[in-house]
Amino acid sequence: MASAANGVVFFLTLTSLILSSYSAGRETPIQPPTNSDEPGWGPLGINGSGPLDCLTALYKIKSCTKEILEYFATGAIDISPPCCEAISVITHKCWPSFLGTLGFSQDQTYILRGYCDAVAAAAYTTTRSGSVPIPVVGPSNGPVSSPNGPIQSPLGQPASSPAN
């Protein structure tokens, strides 16, 4: 009786392995993201080199982690334009929810994207002296907030607003 039960278990295991390998081997259609509403963006990203740009931006974000954490912990506006460019590429073109996987809340991601979008816009509009105005994000006094309330830093403390 035990050998019959072992034979049934063996048969079911073998059958499930065969069926799982069959379904794993079939082709699934994967559509690349298209951002045709924006100039210069094709199915693979910036000028057709999207995956490389996404990986480059990901590498840049790794070196910007300290700047991002200081921004939320102290409110100091020290995020460099290359870091903001990497954040913009990742959050707008590659993986919009990527910063959430690093532990940032949705509100923090929204504020960071907004700040970096403002930096990018300011880079195109220089003042007469040639300097680039740095945007101020959040109220001039009090903690940085969003529609859902005060923003918590990744360290669990309320993020302070940047000094004027």
Confidence of residue 114 (pLDDT cuts 50, 70, 90): confident
* Tokens 């073109």 belong to residue: 93
Give tens-digit pLDDT for 2-50: 677 777 777 777 677 676 665 555 555 555 555 444 444 444 444 444 6
Confidence of residue 73 (pLDDT cuts 50, 70, 90): confident
Give tens-digit pLDDT for 115-140: 888 887 876 665 444 555 555 554 44
The whole-number pLDDT of residue 69 equals 84
- The predicted model scores a pTM of 0.48
Cβ-in-10-Å burial (0-12, 13-18, 19+) of 163 comes to: exposed
Q: Distance between CA atoms of 138 and 162, rounded to whole angstroms?
A: 7
Confidence of residue 100 (pLDDT cuts 50, 70, 90): confident
> Position 42: which residue type?
G
Tokens standing for 150? Answer: 């005060």
Torsion angle in degrees (nearest 10) through CA of 20, 21, 23, 26: 170
- Say which DSSP state 145 is in: E
The whole-number pLDDT of residue 91 equals 84
Q: What are the distances in angstroms from CA 127 to CA 115, 118, 130, 132, 135? A: 19, 15, 5, 6, 13
Task: Tell me how many helices (H) and strands (E) the chain has.
Answer: 6, 4
The whole-number pLDDT of residue 53 equals 82
For the chain, how big is the Rg over CA atoms in Å? Answer: 24
The Cβ of residue 85 has, within 10 Å, a number of other Cβ atoms equal to: 17
